[in-house]
């Protein structure tokens, strides 16, 4: 399940503390792709720009079948405001059914 109590950054990136000090923490509104309610939940992303924050958040929520609705920069009036009274529950990780890999000739002894 997606933990919304932490601040996220780009997956797989290695950032020094000095470089990280120049990043801002953006508030990103997310919701289920197929939602009953229009209410959004907030997640926080460390990035240099709002476009980068939207890209990082999109990568993180895509496996959960969620979408990004908005990005608020620090200092905006709606930063951190969350009304989740009627929000849909957070989904669990969606696993797609992948085709099985081909059998190795060593695994199936009935081939010969």
| Least confident piece of the model among 1-10, 39-48, 54-63, 99-108 | 99-108
61-88 average pLDDT score: 88
Does residue 24 surpass a pLDDT of 70? Answer: yes
106 pLDDT band, cuts 50/70/90, is: low
Question: Tokens in use for 79?
Answer: 């930063």
4-29 average pLDDT score: 86
Helix (H) or strand (E) holding 11, with range, is none
Integer angstrom CA distances of residue 101 from 59, 61, 104:
26, 27, 9
Q: Are the C-beta atoms of 41 and 22 separated by less than 8 Å? A: no
Q: Indicate the pTM of the whole model.
A: 0.74
Q: Where are the domains of the chain?
A: 7-93
């Amino acid at each position: 399940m997606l933990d919304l109590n932490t601040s996220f950054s780009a997956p797989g990136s290695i950032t020094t503390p000095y470089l990280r000090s120049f990043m801002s923490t953006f508030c990103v509104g997310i919701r289920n792709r197929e939602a009953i309610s229009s209410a959004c939940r907030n997640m926080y992303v460390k990035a240099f720009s709002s476009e980068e924050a939207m890209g990082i958040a999109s990568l993180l929520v895509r496996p959960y079948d969620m979408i990004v609705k908005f990005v608020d920069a620090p200092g905006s009036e709606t930063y951190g405001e969350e009304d989740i009274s009627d929000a849909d529950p957070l989904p669990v990780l969606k696993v797609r059914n992948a085709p099985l890999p081909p059998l190795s000739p060593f695994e199936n002894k009935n081939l010969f």
